[in-house]
Amino acid sequence: MEGTLIELFESCLSRYQFRQLNMKHCEGCTYMVKEKWGEGIYWYYSYKGLFAVTVHNLQLKEDFIMEQIQSESFCIYYYESIDGVNLIKNEAIRPNKLYYSVSDNDLCRVFIRKHSHLQCVSLEITPSYYEQFLKGRYACTYEETINIIKEMAYMRGCQDLIVLLMSLKYYQGSGSAARIFYESKVAEALSIILSKQDSSVGSPLMSPCLNADSDMLQHVIDYIDQHFEQSIRLHTLAKISCMGTTSLKTKFKSTYGCTITEYIQKKRIQQAQQLLMNSDLLIGQISATVGYNTPSYFTEIFRKQTGVLPKEYRELYRQ
C-alpha cells in the first residue's frame, strides 16, 4: 500500500511534466507546473501511503484536463477558487464548496478552463489507515465511514471540515512536529465525519441566518481578492458584510480557518510568487507591488508562508 498512493501521485505529476522543487523547510513534496500549462505549485504530503494531504495553487494559461486513477480511498476537497467541470459526473465544480468522493481505483477526470485560478486543498484516507491506526482501538470501520461520507454529499455547510482543511493548507512545519500535526488532523477529520452519523440525509447543517452570513462573507472575500495590494480597513469590510467588526472577525475565522489579516497576507504572497517566477522585478519592487512598503517585513512574511526567502524561491524556480 505504501507505494500505491504515492505512485499514483508521482505518475500523474510526471505525465503532466510537473517539476519537483527542493523545498528544504517544508515537509512533503512540492512541484512546479509546466510553463506551457500555467504558473503555480502542487504540493502533497503522504504518510506511508495511508493518507495524503494535497494543495493546488495554479493559474492556468490553457484549458486543462487532469486525469488520474485514484486508489481505494475516500477524499474530501475544498475549492477556494476554480472554474471547471467533473467530467465523470458531468457537473460543474463550484468555488467555496466542499466535495466528497469515494473511489475503488476509479478514474478521476476534471476539466479546468483556461485563465482559471485553481486553489484546492484535499485530504485522502485509505482503508489501510484503519488497519494500522484504528483497528483494535476503536469500533469504527472504513465501510461505516464511507456510508457517512455518501450521506454528507447531500448536506450543506460542514464548516468544521472547511476549517480543518484550511489549517492543513496554511501549516508550514517540518520534521516530527509536522508529521504529528498531519496525523492529528486526519484523526480530527474522522472524528468530525463520525459525529455526522446521526444527521439525516438531506438535512441542512446551517441555519438560514448562517447561510446569509456566508453570502456576506463571500462579498468580503471578493473585495479582498480585488484589492489585497491596497491598505484594507476593517471598517470597510464590516460595512461590506453588514456586520460589526468583532462579529466579522469571529465569523471569518470560524468559516475560513484564518484571520482576515492572514488571508490578505496569503493573497499578497501568492501574487509575489507569481512575480518572482515570471518577472525580473527587484524584491523591493515586488514588495511594493503586492502591498508591503517595507521589503524586510515582506521578506519575513514570505519566509513564514513558504519556508524560503523570496530570492531563494526565485532561484528554485529558475534552476
**Predicted local distance difference test score (pLDDT) of residue 206:** 38
Identical topology for domains 2-195 and 262-317: no
C-alpha cell at 55: 494543495
Residue 191 near residue 145 (C-beta atoms within 8 A): no
Average pLDDT over residues 249-262: 87
The per-residue pLDDT for range 303-315, each reduced to its tens digit, is 887 778 899 888 8
* Interior/surface letters 96-132, b for 16+ CB within 10 angstroms, e for the rest: bebbbbbbeeeebebbbeeebbbbbbbbbbbbbbbee
Domain spanning 2-195: which CATH class is it, in words?
mainly beta
Residue 203 has pLDDT above 70, yes or no: no
Higher pLDDT, residue 173 or 240: 240
Domain spanning 262-317: which CATH class is it, in words?
mainly alpha
**Does pTM top 0.85 for this prediction?**
no
User: CA-CA distance, 183 to 197, in Å (whole number)?
Assistant: 22
User: CA-CA distance, 69 to 209, in Å (whole number)?
Assistant: 40
DSSP three-state, residue 216: helix
Domain boundaries, the chain: 2-195, 208-257, 262-317
The per-residue pLDDT for range 115-163, each reduced to its tens digit, is 888 989 999 999 999 999 888 888 889 998 998 888 776 555 577 888 8
